[in-house]
């Protein structure tokens, strides 16, 4: 899954691509929507990583 820092870098990269696609192609364009879905998955992975780490640290 990777480190939290690496995941955050991936999130930032996809976020920037999504914003650019939204500005150039529109918010409902398939490329923008696909990047939004990818961003959601990455955010979910970080959330699972953080929650799992908190449980292990208890």
pLDDT in tens, 2-58: 688 899 999 999 999 999 999 999 999 999 999 999 999 999 999 998 888 666 665
Residue 3 is predicted with a pLDDT of: 85
Residue 34 is predicted with a pLDDT of: 98
pTM score: 0.84
| DSSP-assigned states of every residue in 1-37 | ---HHHHHHHHHHHHHHHHHHHHHH-TTSHHHHHHHH
Residue 4 is predicted with a pLDDT of: 84
């Amino acid at each position: 899954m990777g480190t939290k820092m690496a995941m955050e870098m991936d999130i930032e990269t996809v976020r920037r691509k999504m914003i650019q696609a939204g500005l150039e192609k529109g918010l409902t364009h398939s490329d923008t929507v696909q990047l939004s879905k990818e961003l959601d998955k990455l955010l979910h992975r970080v959330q699972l990583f953080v929650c799992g780490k908190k449980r292990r640290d208890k």
